[in-house]
Structure 1
Amino acid sequence: MSSTHDSTPQPSALPATDSTSTSTSTTPDALPLSHPTHPITPPRPPLLRLRLDDLSTPGTTTFLRLVHATHALTHALNTVLTHLYTSLPTSSIPATRSVTLVLRAMDGVAYTTGLSLDDDHKEIHFNTTYIEGIAPTRQKEEIMGVLWTHRGRGRLGSVESGTCAAALEETGGL
């Protein structure tokens, strides 16, 4: 690796691993996260969509090779429900109708937005050029980390009536 520093976004450090875990799988279901004693179910699970702007980019092919988009987004949703809504009434879960993951070349790493048509429809835009630049040994973990950050914190956080962790207020809610 070169010692020259450029302004290209860099992947984050690996999260600490649970040394007591016996799983060696890196599927979303095997990630070491705590689970509630009962499943948290939104009143209506959002429709999950995937939009690929250019199938021929290395970042898109890497994503499709490493990540099952349905499982990844479902895992992110369940993780947020587990960590933010376990002790709250189901009515406090935002009523997002759809989440679209958009893979495309753009500036930055990722961002989330609501649709102008209806803010109950959300989009996560993920930079395929960024994915392309991740070290091969870190690609899946980095992709999953970005999806968790943007899906979870950016889209399922709601500040209505103080029902969500204060740390999520700046994300604009679900």
Structure 2
Amino acid sequence: MPPLDTAEEQSSHVCPAPTLSLQLHSLDDAGVERFARSMQAHLSLRQCLEEVWRALRYDAPEAPACRKVTCLTLVVRPMDGVAHTAGAAGQDDHKQIHLAAGHIARCHASDDAALHEIKGVLWHEMVHVLQHDGRGTVPGGLIEGIADWVRLKCGLAPPHWARTPGPSWDAGYEKTGESYFLVWVSDHVGEPRLVPGLNAAFATAEWDNGAAFRTLCNGQTVEELWAAYLKSFDGDRTAAPPARPTEAARP
């Protein structure tokens, strides 16, 4: 793989090489200070970009590339919630990841634990930078589930995550089982590259009632796959499912 600072044109087999920038707001903030102390941002951003790109890339002839990005800025600042990804007005290839300083400051007692959490959130948001969304038609729960699937795949899940049935396949986030559902389908339906295949499909096709799942999973609908996933759980399944978390409550 070529270095990230080359200007080689992006393809499905070449990691994007955007200009990477870092903004730290309010250096007196405890969360901003911990971020600066805990991680080497210039190395972690490059590592994050490469790992997320590899996780999403569909290794097949003529596979569409991940979303094109020419400029990426990580902003660490005081704000509500945990993190979000934003684009620049009129510049779809310019992206920003905003990370809440307060979340960094309050979540963990040690810098090592904080670093693990920072990287987990950053990897999740990087998925939103690179992933396709079927021209905005893919259900939000699946968009978030794919991001948490990548976080899980990269070994950055927080210790409280657990495989649970969840209320529905598209409820989103790890607490409802979306990322674990995608793992299960990949392991049991004969399509180990399910998530990259979905991302490649959504580069050119809309959601269309889950047509990409049917193509990748031997004609099975996402509802049929979800029913099979629920049957994989032992014990009493009559208990109420966990409540869907809000963005501010994540991760």
Q: TM-score w.r.t. structure 1 length?
A: 0.65
- Written as runs of structure 1 = structure 2, the 5 A alignment for 1:17-32 is none
For 2:84, give the aligned amino acid.
Y
For 1:154, give the aligned amino acid.
H
Which is higher, the Rg of structure 1 or of structure 2? 2
- Written as runs of structure 1 = structure 2, the 5 A alignment for 1:23-62 is 40-42=13-15, 44-62=16-34
Task: Give the Cα separation in 1 of the matches to 2:143 and 2:17.
Answer: 20
Contact 2:68 2:130 in 1 (8 A): no
What percent identity do the matched residue pairs reach?
30
Q: Give the drift of 1:86.
A: 4.6
Query: Which ranges in structure 1 are unaligned for 5 or more consecutive residues?
Result: 1-39
Q: Is the helix fraction higher in 1 or 2?
A: 2
- Written as runs of structure 1 = structure 2, the 5 A alignment for 1:1-174 is 40-42=13-15, 44-88=16-60, 89=62, 92-137=65-110, 138-151=113-126, 153-159=127-133, 167-168=142-143
Q: Give the drift of 1:134.
A: 1.9
Task: Give the Cα separation in 2 of the matches to 1:90 and 1:160.
Answer: 15
Task: Give the Cα separation in 1 of the matches to 2:129 and 2:59.
Answer: 19
Report runs of 4+ in structure 1 exceeding 4 Å deviation: 88-91
Q: Give the drift of 1:83.
A: 1.3
Q: Give the drift of 1:75.
A: 1.4
Q: Give the drift of 1:136.
A: 2.5
Task: Give the Cα separation in 1 of the matches to 2:119 and 2:101.
Answer: 14
Q: What per-residue deviation string (whole Å, max 9, x for no partner) do you get for residues 40-70 of structure 1?
A: 523x411111011211111111001111112
Task: Give the Cα separation in 2 of the matches to 1:81 and 1:159.
Answer: 15
Q: What per-residue deviation string (whole Å, max 9, x for no partner) do you get for residues 108-157 of structure 1?
A: 00000111141110000111011110212321100000000001x21111
Contact 1:110 1:124 in 2 (8 A): yes
Q: What per-residue deviation string (whole Å, max 9, x for no partner) do you get for residues 10-55 of structure 1?
A: xxxxxxxxxxxxxxxxxxxxxxxxxxxxxx523x411111011211
User: For this pair of structures, how many residues does the alignment match?
Assistant: 130
Q: TM-score w.r.t. structure 2 length?
A: 0.46
Instruction: For CA contacts below 8 A with separation 6 or more, give which structure has more relative contact order.
Output: 1
Task: Give the Cα separation in 2 of the matches to 1:142 and 1:159.
Answer: 26
Query: Which ranges in structure 2 are unaligned for 5 or more consecutive residues?
Result: 1-12, 148-201, 204-251
Task: Give the Cα separation in 2 of the matches to 1:155 and 1:83.
Answer: 13
